[in-house]
A and B are shown apart, each in its own frame.
Chain A
């Protein structure tokens, strides 16, 4: 775990870089987090996903899965993979300041 400064605010991050406390997150941090994930610009489509994830997390207390984003958020799976290549659930959670989604067993 380490502290880091994102968009001028000091936050705690876990070993893999996910924010420790989702409430620390502000929208201004998203572009910086996105760059770390290899995404240079956040488009409206990206934001739609990020905002859905934030809102769903507030309501459910759980990072939404890809299936949940499709069913409850109306975001086609294909789009998710185009927007956040190689692991959309993890990448989008990272950028949205949420913890790493639990792998299931």
Chain B
């Protein structure tokens, strides 16, 4: 009997378990999934918590509800992965040996990487919204805030869901307008990138939205430290930005276990073949989701497209066939822009976000790189799609590979 081990049972690990469990021959393969926590968080929902649109209950469900019944599930932290010996050691001393391993340990924020971030004022007037604790603490702050200067800062790239901080400031503009205190709130978006976003056409488009919404953009700012005493954020070059409320997107890193196991780069992301998703170092190790070092977005939609490719490659690997180099970096992200509207972008390693219609060329119903009400509904429906289709590994009516059909070169 051979053993397939899935390490990490979040978005990507759950999808892989659901796709593979029905197709692997149960006389030959057994599947085990390991995760350290019982609760699954719908992370895209964290964005809506500070504004009271979602609460904690809206974004959590038990992980076990989503795992297939015919696999073994272990809920325990992993101490170390030893890929040279094909085994994993758990913190409680158990040792698990595998023939084939899929790693999906995700990425998480590491505010401690920035000097002064984790002082007394952490979660007092400095918040993240990438964790449930941060998002709910920020909700309690914003609920009673009477105004002042809000600074939203991306510390360094890459971050998961790179559009989320922009959505955050768009929603802030909407929320404070609704509360009737927009004139008492200054919003400043501070990023290490040269513009609002990474890719030129989308950066220009989104930059214009910031201007339109009276949100100040400060680009090329590499955050070096926080002076909590004086409510000031400093760049490495000592440029100072004052705040009353600092919302930080701290350094994102892969799971510590990847670092401890010597499997990652400086940020604990695992060197991965960008097209086959095989580890660059170990043939019987595959990686997907936020845990990879790929130059694609770290997003649930990307994990979904990767899962389609990996599903095929795992079967090919088992059958001794050459792997298919099919992943193209495809990402598809709804950007909530406030006032019940949204923007949609669709892109891959080579093609930056372009305007057009999606998924049906010329028809839509969604519009690419345009602000529409329909796109907002796409974003809000995503939660249902996520729990009911995506995690279960169901086919969605979108190809894993990006298509140019319906897109316009500009």
Instruction: Give A residues with C-beta under 8 Å from B.
Output: 65-68, 70-72, 77-78, 80-81, 85-87, 102-105
A80 partner residues in chain B, CB cutoff 8 A: 236
CA distance A87 to B222 in the complex (A): 9
CA distance A72 to B295 in the complex (A): 21
Q: Give the residue name and chain of the A residue nearest to B163 (CB).
A: A105
- Give the dominant DSSP class at B's interface: loop
Min CB distance, B160 to chain A, in Å?
11
Inter-chain contact B224/A104, CB cutoff 8 Å: no
Inter-chain contact A105/B198, CB cutoff 8 Å: yes
CA distance A78 to B238 in the complex (A): 10
Chain B interface residue count, CB cutoff 8 Å, equals 19
CB of B92 within 8 A of chain A?
no
Min CB distance, B47 to chain A, in Å?
18
Contact with A along B264-305 (1 / 0, CB 8 A): 011100000000000000000000000000011100000000
Inter-chain contact A78/B224, CB cutoff 8 Å: yes
On whether A71 and B266 interact (CB within 8 A), knowing A81-B236, A104-B158, the answer reads: yes
Inter-chain contact B157/A104, CB cutoff 8 Å: yes
Kindly identify which residue among B158, B162, B222 contacts A81, using a CB–CB cutoff of 8 Å: B222
Inter-chain contact A77/B236, CB cutoff 8 Å: yes
CA distance A86 to B193 in the complex (A): 12
Inter-chain contact A85/B237, CB cutoff 8 Å: yes
B156 partner residues in chain A, CB cutoff 8 A: 67
A-B contact count (CB 8 A): 40
Inter-chain contact B237/A81, CB cutoff 8 Å: yes
CA distance A67 to B162 in the complex (A): 19
Min CB distance, A90 to chain B, in Å?
10
Contact with A along B234-245 (1 / 0, CB 8 A): 001100000000
Residues 174 to 213 of chain B near chain A (Cβ within 8 Å): 193, 198-199
Inter-chain contact A86/B220, CB cutoff 8 Å: yes
Q: Give the residue name and chain of the B residue nearest to A103 (CB).
A: B198
A70 partner residues in chain B, CB cutoff 8 A: 266
Inter-chain contact A67/B267, CB cutoff 8 Å: yes
Min CB distance, A98 to chain B, in Å?
17
Cβ contacts A to B, 11 pairs, < 8 Å: A66-B222, A67-B156, A67-B266, A67-B267, A72-B266, A77-B236, A78-B236, A103-B157, A105-B295, A105-B296, A105-B297
CA distance A81 to B162 in the complex (A): 24
A105 partner residues in chain B, CB cutoff 8 A: 157-158, 162, 198-199, 295-297, 331
On whether A87 and B266 interact (CB within 8 A), knowing A77-B236, A103-B157, A104-B198, the answer reads: no
